[in-house]
């Protein structure tokens, strides 16, 4: 039986040196344990399902099944995907989020940020930097039309979701709306459950694709 206090990780990268290096870095951090490594997307999916891992560190450009497709295949699985790549492009960010990734980090990120990202994603949070949010906005605006049904929200839920879409954390949202962090977490959990969304990353995608949030809206302080 796995230790409930340990986050289990699968490292997927087609370059052996990078893969083994990441595994060593992650495995050296207390509370994190690498349970498998994978050289392509198909191996990553199989390893995540076999080990029931909490998080998959997923490279994007891999032979055969790439990281985006592997992320899509893991939808509904226990593992959450943290995309780790050298490629910082609009297409990669948006494709990863739409495929179901819970976060996005560059391989150049410092190890403390990597550790924090793994823990955040394992806890059900989304690792969405403001730059990632802006890319998502730009992508949806470029599409020209809303492509998802509207979210069914109360007034306060709407305020919270708009700030989630702006990239704010629960404590930041709590301060902005003069609420307790636990109350904000409850609002977010209720919205996720009501709309069958896995995590905050999916909520952000849905907020923009449904037209709830538009350019300029996310930075507005709700009344």
CB atoms within 10 A of CB 22: 23
What CATH architecture is 7-127?
3-Layer(aba) Sandwich (3.40)
Q: 98: closest CA among 68, 77, 130, 55?
A: 68
**What's the CATH number for 146-209?**
1.10.10.10
151 near 206, Cβ under 8 Å?
Answer: yes
Measured torsion, CA atoms of residues 88, 89, 93, 98, in degrees rounded to the nearest 10: -160
Residue 222 has which token pair?
């709700």
Domain ranges of the chain: 7-127, 146-209
Residue 51 has which token pair?
């080990």
Q: pLDDT, tens digit, for every residue of 6-19?
A: 999 999 999 999 99
Q: pLDDT, tens digit, for every residue of 69-100?
A: 999 999 878 899 998 877 666 677 777 877 88
Per-residue model confidence (pLDDT) at position 206: 84
CA angle 140, 151, 220 (to 5 degrees): 65
Residue 203 has which token pair?
């909520």
Distance CA 216, CA 197 (A): 24
Q: pLDDT, tens digit, for every residue of 138-166?
A: 665 565 555 678 899 999 999 999 998 88
Give me the sign of the Cα torsion angle 85, 87, 88, 90. negative
163 near 222, Cβ under 8 Å?
Answer: yes
3-state secondary structure of 7: strand
């Amino acid at each position: 039986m796995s230790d409930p206090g340990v986050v289990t990780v699968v490292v997927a990268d087609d370059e052996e040196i990078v893969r083994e290096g990441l595994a060593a870095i992650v495995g050296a951090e207390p509370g994190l344990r690498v349970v498998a490594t994978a050289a392509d997307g198909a191996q990553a999916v199989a390893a995540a399902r076999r080990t029931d891992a909490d998080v998959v560190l997923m490279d994007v450009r891999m032979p055969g099944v790439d990281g985006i497709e592997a992320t899509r295949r893991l939808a509904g699985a226990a593992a959450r995907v943290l995309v780790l790549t050298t490629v910082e492009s609009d297409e990669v960010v948006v494709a990863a989020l739409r495929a179901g990734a819970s976060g996005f980090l560059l391989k150049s990120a410092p190890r403390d940020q990597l550790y924090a990202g793994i823990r955040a994603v394992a806890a059900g949070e989304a690792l969405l930097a403001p730059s990632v949010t802006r890319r998502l906005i730009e992508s949806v605006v470029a599409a020209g039309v809303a492509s998802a049904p509207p979210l069914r929200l109360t007034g306060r839920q709407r305020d919270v979701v708009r700030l989630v879409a702006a990239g704010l954390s629960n404590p930041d949202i709590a301060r902005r709306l003069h609420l307790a962090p636990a109350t904000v977490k409850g609002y977010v959990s209720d919205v996720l459950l009501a709309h069958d969304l896995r995590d905050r990353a999916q909520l952000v995608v849905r907020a923009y694709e449904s037209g709830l949030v538009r350019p300029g809206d996310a930075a507005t302080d709700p009344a």
